[in-house]
Structure 1
Amino acid sequence: MNRQQRVAATLPTPAHSPPPLPAGVEKERKSSFCHRVFPLLLLTLYAVGSVLRLALSSPFPSSFVQSSASSFSAELRQEVESLKTHIPSETNHLQAHEEHSVAPRPPCSGLIDGRADGAAATKDTALVCCDRSHIRSDLCYARGDIRTDSRSSSVLVYGAADGKAPPPPVEKIRPYTRKWDTGITATIQEISIRPLPSAAANGSSSSSSRRQAAAAAGCDVRHEGVPALLFSNGGYTGNLYHEFSDGLIPLYVTAQRFRGEVVLVVAEYRSWWLTRYRPVLERLTKYKLVDFSRDTRVHCFSEMILGLRIHGELIIDPWLTPNGNSIRDFQTLLREGFNGVVQPKPPLPESPPFLRPLIRSSHRGQCGSRRPRIAVFIRKGCRVLLNLRELARTCQRTGFDVQIVEPKRGTPLEVIHHALAPADVMLAVHGAAMTHFLFMRPASVLIQVVPLGLEKPAEEFYGEPARRLGLEYLAYNITPEESSLYKIYDRQSPILVNTSSITSKGWEEMKKIYLDKQNVKLNLKRFSKILAQAYTHVCGH
Structure 2
Amino acid sequence: MVQRNRTKSSSSSFHDIDHIRDHKHKQYLQFLLLRCLPLLLLMIFTAASMLRLLSLPAGALFVEEEEDEVRDHSKYSIRTHIPSSKAHQEIKTEAAAATASSPITCSALIDGTSRETVVDDGRAVLCCDRSHHRTDVCYMRGDIRTDPSTSSISVYGPVPEGLSWNSTTGPERIRPYTRKWETGVMNTIDEITLRAVPPSGRAAAAACEVDHEGVPGVVLSTGGYTGNVYHEFNDGLIPLYITTKRFEGEVVLVVLEYHSWWVTKYGTVLEKMSNYKLVDFAKDGRVHCFSELIVGLKIHGELTIDPQLIMPQGSKVGIHDFQALVNQGFGNSMQPQPSKEYCCSPKPKMAIFIRNKSRVILNLREVVRACQRAGFQVQILNPKRTTPLSEIHAVLSSSQAMLAVHGAAVTHFLFMRPGSVLLQIVPLGLDWAADEYYGEPARKLGLEYMEYKVAKHESSLSKEYDSHDPVLLIPRPLQAKDGMRPRRYILKSRMSG
- State the TM bucket, normalised to the shorter chain: 0.7 to 0.9
Indicate yes or no: 2:235 matched with 1:266: no
Q: Which residue of 2 aligns with 1:320?
A: 309
Q: Which residue of 1 aligns with 2:332?
A: 340
Q: Which residue of 2 aligns with 1:511?
A: 489
* Matched AA of 1:328: H
Q: Which residue of 2 aligns with 1:238?
A: 227
Alpha carbons 2:124, 2:160 under 8 Å: kept:
no
Q: Which runs of 5+ in 1 are unaligned?
A: 1-104, 204-209, 347-354, 361-368, 515-541
Greater relative contact order (Cα 8 A, min sep 6): structure 1 or 2?
Answer: 2
Runs of at least 4 residues of structure 1 off by over 3 A?
160-163, 355-360, 502-510
- Secondary structure of the residue aligned to 2:274 is coil
Q: Which runs of 5+ in 2 are unaligned?
A: 1-102, 162-166, 493-497
Indicate yes or no: 2:172 matched with 1:171: yes
- Secondary structure of the residue aligned to 1:499 is coil
CA distance in 2, matches of 1:115, 1:237: 31
Q: Which residue of 1 aligns with 2:145?
A: 147
- Secondary structure of the residue aligned to 1:283 is helix
Alpha carbons 1:379, 1:385 under 8 Å: kept:
yes
Q: Count how many residue pairs are aligned between Structure 1 and Structure 2.
A: 377
Q: Once the two structures are aligned, what percentage of the paired residues are identical?
A: 55
From 435, 439, 450, give the equivalent of 1:463: 439
Alpha carbons 1:250, 1:310 under 8 Å: kept:
yes
Shift of 1:120: 2.6
Q: Which residue of 1 aligns with 2:454?
A: 478
Give per-residue Cα distances to partners, 1:279-298, cap 9 Å, x unaligned.
11000000000001111100
From 273, 283, 304, give the equivalent of 1:294: 283
Alpha carbons 1:261, 1:286 under 8 Å: kept:
yes
* Matched AA of 2:489: K
CA distance in 2, matches of 1:370, 1:228: 48
Shift of 1:256: 1.2
Q: Which residue of 1 aligns with 2:117?
A: 120
Q: Which residue of 1 aligns with 2:391?
A: 415
CA distance in 1, matches of 2:328, 2:173: 37
Q: TM-score, normalised by structure 2?
A: 0.72
* Matched AA of 1:188: I
* Matched AA of 1:278: G
CA distance in 2, matches of 1:119, 1:391: 60
Shift of 1:444: 0.3
Shift of 1:162: 8.1
Shift of 1:122: 2.3
Q: Which residue of 2 aligns with 1:254?
A: 243
Alpha carbons 2:480, 2:487 under 8 Å: kept:
yes
* Matched AA of 2:108: G
* Matched AA of 1:330: F
Shift of 1:386: 1.1
- Secondary structure of the residue aligned to 2:409 is helix
Shift of 1:342: 1.0
- The 5-angstrom pairing of residues 128-527 of structure 1 reads 128-161=126-159, 168-201=169-202, 203=203, 210=204, 213=205, 217-322=206-311, 323-344=315-336, 370-500=346-476, 503-504=478-479, 511-513=489-491
CA distance in 2, matches of 1:191, 1:440: 38
Alpha carbons 1:136, 1:177 under 8 Å: kept:
yes
Q: Which residue of 1 aligns with 2:83?
A: none
Taking a change above 3 Å as real, the CA distance of residues 372 and 227 of structure 1, as seen in their structure-2 partners, is same
Alpha carbons 1:167, 1:196 under 8 Å: kept:
no
- Secondary structure of the residue aligned to 2:298 is coil
- Secondary structure of the residue aligned to 1:464 is helix
Alpha carbons 1:106, 1:131 under 8 Å: kept:
no
Shift of 1:325: 1.0
Q: Which residue of 1 aligns with 2:25?
A: none
Could you say which structure has the larger radius of gyration?
A: 1
* Matched AA of 2:421: V
Shift of 1:126: 2.3
Greater Cα shift, 479-488 or 502-511: 502-511
* Matched AA of 2:281: F
Alpha carbons 2:128, 2:138 under 8 Å: kept:
yes
Higher helix share: 1
Alpha carbons 2:139, 2:293 under 8 Å: kept:
yes
CA distance in 1, matches of 2:168, 2:224: 33
CA distance in 2, matches of 1:321, 1:108: 16
Q: Which residue of 1 aligns with 2:19?
A: none
RMSD between aligned residues = 2.4
Alpha carbons 1:447, 1:475 under 8 Å: kept:
yes
Shift of 1:499: 2.1
Give per-residue Cα distances to partners, 1:64-105, cap 9 Å, x unaligned.
xxxxxxxxxxxxxxxxxxxxxxxxxxxxxxxxxxxxxxxxx9
Taking a change above 3 Å as real, the CA distance of residues 406 and 433 of structure 1, as seen in their structure-2 partners, is same
CA distance in 2, matches of 1:183, 1:420: 35
Shift of 1:405: 1.1
Give per-residue Cα distances to partners, 1:414-463, cap 9 Å, x unaligned.
11111222210000000000010000011000000001011111000000
